[in-house]
């Protein structure tokens, strides 16, 4: 999955990018045991560092983040795992604090880690040495410190000028291991595309149809996704009738976890397909920057987060940026749903559940989702024009 460009330290007209390959890992029993120790050591270090930061701040009113080396004397088992994984924990906690103090409305205060988390992970950064980099990708697998040669399944090969930056090992609740290999490279900065109204589309989120664009079109939802959710409901119903802790319960619980994972993969694949199709077809996309978590709390009757629209927006943003195209955030509080696209009049008495309505000002027959998407497009283009004029 490609990342965003970084302009620092690169030549004029070129950008620094990163691409991530997420591939399955097939460790030996010895490697799996060392991975489990690394998961535990990283969790132990994170919790103790977080606790010490809080205690030091309470006593001195100063934030001080100790280094991992300070804890190895009192916890000798930390020496059994790769020190780079422990250094990555220190960097992650430091970044978590910086993000929180920079924007507390978006980022939460760092919390302790628990074994009951959705997944376990640790990161190892590649370091250059005179004998070569500390992490190497070979035809036989992935060579890593302490772990040795890991057997992985690569679905594609990196280009020869890419440099391996880091590897993140994760373990899901279903017991599967994955590694996310990050590559960095420089490439020519894409030429910026000037959007026009004809080549710009607005997208309005819809729980029933995923989204509706300004042309009134919406994606065709794969029937496999609905069938998978129905199967999950049956499996959960059967699990609820079993005795907790029994062998049958544990076996059924594993089936439920696998089904959850299957649905998540379907959702991610669908979001990738739709974002790629839109990024290739349009020069600019306008989307409301609505808080989906707040929307989910308000609309308790529907599962807002189950569709994966937030993930879709993330994919769409970076795919447009890679092509020099515009992703335009629209104010979520703008009255796009209550404004008539034909005359611009606002219907303040529009019921929340009305799917069609007649404009009281001009009498136009309006479809709510399509009208909203058109207003989102117009608001995005107007905001882009103002920013261009100010620049």
Please tell me whether residues 167 and 210 are part of one structural domain: no
| Residue 101 within a domain | yes
C-alpha closest to that of 214 among 379, 385, 372, 335: 372
Residue after which a domain boundary falls, among 146, 167, 188: 188
* Mean per-residue pLDDT of the chain: 90
List, in order, residues 6 or more apart from 297 with CB less than 8 Å away: none
Domain count, the chain: 2
- What is the per-residue pLDDT across 325-376, written as a single tens digit (0 to 9) for each? 999 999 988 888 889 988 888 888 888 888 888 888 888 888 999 999 999 9
C-alpha closest to that of 22 among 150, 140, 169: 169
> Picking from 117-121, 181-185, 266-270, which range would have the lowest pLDDT averaged per residue?
117-121
Please tell me whether residues 241 and 326 are part of one structural domain: yes
Instruction: Count Cβ neighbours within 10 Å for each residue of 272-281 and write b for 16 or more, e otherwise.
Output: bebbeebbee
Q: What residues make up the domain containing 111?
A: 14-188
Rounded distance between C-alpha atoms, residue 74 and residue 227, angstroms: 53
Please tell me whether residues 129 and 204 are part of one structural domain: no
Arithmetic mean of pLDDT, 230-249: 95
Please tell me whether residues 159 and 220 are part of one structural domain: no
Q: How many helices (H) and strands (E) does the chain have?
A: 7, 15
Model pLDDT, residue 363:
86
Residue 68 has pLDDT above 90, yes or no: yes
Strands of 189-267, DSSP E: 200-206, 210-213
Model pLDDT, residue 282:
95
| Residue 315 within a domain | yes
Instruction: Dig out the tokens for 343 from the structure.
Output: 């005359």
Selected residue with higher pLDDT from 135 and 294 = 135
Confidence (pTM): 0.86
Rounded distance between C-alpha atoms, residue 64 and residue 71, angstroms: 15
Residue 383, H or E segment: helix 368-390
Residue after which a domain boundary falls, among 157, 188, 219: 188
Give the whole-number percent of the chain exceeding pLDDT 90: 66
Please tell me whether residues 343 and 260 are part of one structural domain: yes
Q: Cα 53 from chain centroid? A: 28
| Residue 183 within a domain | yes
| Residue 355 within a domain | yes
Please tell me whether residues 165 and 229 are part of one structural domain: no
Rounded distance between C-alpha atoms, residue 283 and residue 340, angstroms: 25
Residue 228 has pLDDT above 80, yes or no: yes
Residue 267, H or E segment: helix 247-281
Residue 5 has pLDDT above 80, yes or no: no
With tokens 């280094």, the residue in question is: 67
Residue 215 has pLDDT above 60, yes or no: yes
| Residue 5 within a domain | no
Please tell me whether residues 289 and 266 are part of one structural domain: yes
Instruction: Count Cβ neighbours within 10 Å for each residue of 285-299 and write b for 16 or more, e otherwise.
Output: bbbbebebeebeeee
Question: How many Cβ atoms from other residues are within 10 Å of residue 228's Cβ?
Answer: 17
| Residue 3 within a domain | no
C-alpha closest to that of 173 among 250, 269, 109, 94: 250
Please tell me whether residues 310 and 279 are part of one structural domain: yes
Residue after which a domain boundary falls, among 188, 209, 228: 188
Please tell me whether residues 213 and 329 are part of one structural domain: yes
Residue 295 has pLDDT above 80, yes or no: no
| Residue 8 within a domain | no
- What is the per-residue pLDDT across 140-157, written as a single tens digit (0 to 9) for each? 899 999 999 999 999 888
| Residue 6 within a domain | no
Rounded distance between C-alpha atoms, residue 79 and residue 35, angstroms: 14
Model pLDDT, residue 11:
57
Please tell me whether residues 208 and 329 are part of one structural domain: yes
Model pLDDT, residue 8:
42
Q: Which residues pair with 186 in a beta bridge?
A: 16
Counted residue by residue, the chain has a size of 391
C-alpha closest to that of 182 among 21, 41, 379: 21
Please tell me whether residues 59 and 145 are part of one structural domain: yes
Rounded distance between C-alpha atoms, residue 228 and residue 245, angstroms: 26
202 neighbors 380 (Cβ within 8 angstroms)? yes
Please tell me whether residues 218 and 128 are part of one structural domain: no
């Amino acid at each position: 999955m490609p990342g965003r460009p970084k302009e620092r330290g690169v030549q004029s007209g070129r950008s620094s990018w990163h691409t991530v390959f997420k591939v399955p890992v097939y460790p030996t029993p010895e490697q799996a045991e060392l991975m489990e120790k690394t998961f535990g050591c990283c969790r132990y270090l994170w919790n103790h560092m977080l606790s010490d930061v809080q205690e030091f701040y309470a006593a001195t009113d100063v934030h001080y983040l100790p280094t991992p080396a300070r804890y190895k004397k009192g916890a000798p088992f930390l020496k059994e795992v790769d020190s780079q994984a422990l250094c990555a924990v220190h960097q992650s906690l430091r970044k978590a604090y910086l993000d929180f103090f920079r924007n507390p409305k978006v980022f939460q205060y760092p919390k302790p880690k628990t074994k009951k988390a959705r997944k376990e992970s640790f990161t190892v950064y590649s370091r250059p040495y005179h004998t070569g980099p500390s992490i190497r990708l070979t035809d036989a697998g992935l060579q890593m410190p302490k772990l040795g040669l890991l057997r992985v399944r690569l679905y594609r090969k990196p280009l020869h000028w890419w440099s391996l930056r880091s590897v993140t090992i994760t373990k899901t609740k279903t017991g599967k291991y994955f590694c996310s290999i990050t590559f960095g490279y420089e490439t020519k900065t894409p030429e910026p595309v000037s959007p026009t109204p004809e080549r710009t589309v607005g997208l309005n989120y819809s729980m029933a149809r995923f989204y509706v664009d300004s042309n009134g079109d919406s994606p065709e939802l794969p029937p496999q996704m609905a069938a998978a959710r129905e199967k999950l409901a049956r499996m959960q119903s059967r699990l609820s009738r079993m005795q907790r802790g029994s062998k049958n319960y544990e076996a059924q619980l594993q089936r439920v976890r696998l089904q959850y994972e299957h649905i998540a993969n379907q959702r991610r694949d669908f979001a990738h397909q739709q974002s790629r199709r839109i990024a290739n077809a349009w020069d600019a996309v306008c989307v409301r920057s609505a808080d989906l978590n707040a929307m989910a709390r308000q609309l308790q009757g529907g599962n807002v987060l189950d569709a994966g629209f937030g993930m879709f927006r993330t994919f769409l943003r970076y795919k447009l940026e890679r092509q020099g195209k515009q992703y335009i955030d629209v104010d979520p509080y703008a009255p796009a749903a209550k404004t008539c696209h034909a005359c611009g009049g606002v219907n303040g008495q529009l019921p929340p559940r009305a799917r069609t309505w007649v404009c009281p000002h001009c009498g136009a027959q309006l479809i709510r989702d399509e009208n909203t998407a058109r207003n989102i497009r117009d608001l995005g283009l107007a905001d882009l024009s103002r920013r261009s004029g100010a620049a």
